[in-house]
Structures are given as structure tokens and as C-alpha cells.
Amino acid sequence: MNTSASDSVHHGDKRGAAVRIMVNQIACLLLPVVLLTSACNAQNSKNLSDAELAERIHKELKAHHYDEAIRLATSALQENPSHGAIANQISLVYIERATYDSNDRQRWLALATQFADKAIAANPADDLSRFDAARAYESAGDLSASSSRCPFFDTAAKLFEQLATAAVTHSTDSKGESIDAPGLQSGGKQGLQRVRGKQMKAGCSHVHP
């Protein structure tokens, strides 16, 4: 089933509202609750703790200062390329930007999924990064034109399935050590079921009821 890209923009408000809810849910996983003083605003991202950096990015995101949020995060990622959580935050910013900017939506979605992939590559054993990447791909599918949704949904389904079928799911603590995260397995099952429904609704040819 194919419709024009303008159909996607016409229904963008409805899908955008759903994606904004999803973005807020992801943000709850990524952003620690931290009270910052005004002095933090003057700090370079190199001198910020992970919690402070996350709060700064979240503050810029809420204000729709996307370029500044990206600048902060990419600067920190350059200092620590193996930090998957930062790559996930960049992905989140691009998803949010795509929600509001329909003119360059596909560009932002491509960048969002690119950084979601980087987050997984940075720490393949961290299933939280895998879960966040799956949500990013699902959001990209939700926001895309009808003819472009299936590839995004397919990748989301693949990542959710990896979590759903894993014997044990792991995350990484603040010291970089692996810890059990059983909730990610159930999240993977729920996500897979949700995305399968979206694949069928989008008419992805290889998915059958």
C-alpha cells in the first residue's frame, strides 16, 4: 500500500503526539533526576558528569534548541566514542526534531537511526541500548511516509525480538559493569507485538497475520 508523502505530513499531528509520548518514556530511562545550579550552564560538556550532561541536553531539547543539544552530545561522544548512552541521547534529539520538522523529517530520522546503531555498536552486550534503538526505529517508522515505514519497522522488530528471546537481558551500571535487567525482556516482547501490528497495518509484504 503506497500513499504520497503528503499523506504522512497530513496525519503528522496524530502520529507526532504518539511519538512525543514515546520520546518522553525513553527520556525517563535516559535522564537521571538531577538538580543543577546555574553554574552548570557555563560548563563545557567535557567537564560535565553523565547526569549533568543528560540534564543539559534534556533542557535544550525541551526548549527546541536542537543544534545546541546535538553540539553538547556530539562533543561528549567525541571524547568518549564508546559511550552508548550519549549516542542514544543524540538519537532521541533527532527523533524529537523530526517530530516537529516535517520539511527535513527523513534527514533527521536517518540521523536518529544512525546514532541508535552507534549506541549498540559501542556496547553490544548492553540490552538497554538495544531497547532504546528499537524504540528509535519504531518512532522513525511512525513518523515516516507510508511508503518508507517498513524498513524502520523491520529493524525495530528484529531488535525487539532479540530482547524477547534472550535467556537473560543485561544493562550496564555507572561503573561500566554488566547487571541483569529482566524488565528489558518483557519490554522486548511487548515492543515486538506492537511493531508486528504496525508492520501489518503498513502492508509490509513479508508480515502475515
The residue with greater pLDDT, 174 or 60, is 60
For the CA atoms of 182, 187, 190, 194, the dihedral, rounded to the nearest 10 degrees, stands at -160
Give the model's pLDDT for residue 97: 95
CB-facing half-sphere around the CA of 62: CA atoms within 13 A: 9
**Domain-wise residue ranges, the chain:** 5-202
Give the model's pLDDT for residue 14: 54
pLDDT digits (tens, 9 = 90+) for 147-205: 999 999 999 999 999 999 988 887 765 556 666 778 899 999 999 999 999 999 999 97
Give the model's pLDDT for residue 186: 92
Stated as kind and residue range, the H or E segment containing 178 is strand 178-180
pLDDT digits (tens, 9 = 90+) for 9-34: 444 455 555 555 555 555 554 444 33
pLDDT band for position 43 (cuts 50, 70, 90): very low
Q: Is the dihedral of CA 194, 196, 201, 202 positive or negative?
A: positive
Average confidence (pLDDT) over 72-96: 89
DSSP state of 60: H
Cβ of 156: how many Cβ atoms within 10 Å? 29
pLDDT band for position 111 (cuts 50, 70, 90): very high
Grid cell digits, residue 114 = 544512525
The residue with greater pLDDT, 131 or 51, is 131
**Entry field: residues in the chain:** 209
Give the model's pLDDT for residue 20: 56
Give the model's pLDDT for residue 193: 96
Give the model's pLDDT for residue 36: 33
Q: Is 203 left (phi over 0), alpha (psi -120 to 50) or beta?
A: left
The residue with greater pLDDT, 104 or 26, is 104
Give the model's pLDDT for residue 24: 55
Residue 62: which of 23, 19, 18, 113 has the closest Cα? 23
Question: Which range has highest mean pLDDT (5-19, 30-44, 82-96)?
Answer: 82-96
Grid cell digits, residue 100 = 516537529
Considering the segment(s) 5-202 as one domain, its CATH architecture is Alpha Horseshoe (1.25)
Residue 112: which of 11, 4, 22, 209 has the closest Cα? 22
Give the model's pLDDT for residue 112: 97
Grid cell digits, residue 201 = 497495518
Contact 170, 180 (CB under 8 A): yes
The residue with greater pLDDT, 28 or 115, is 115
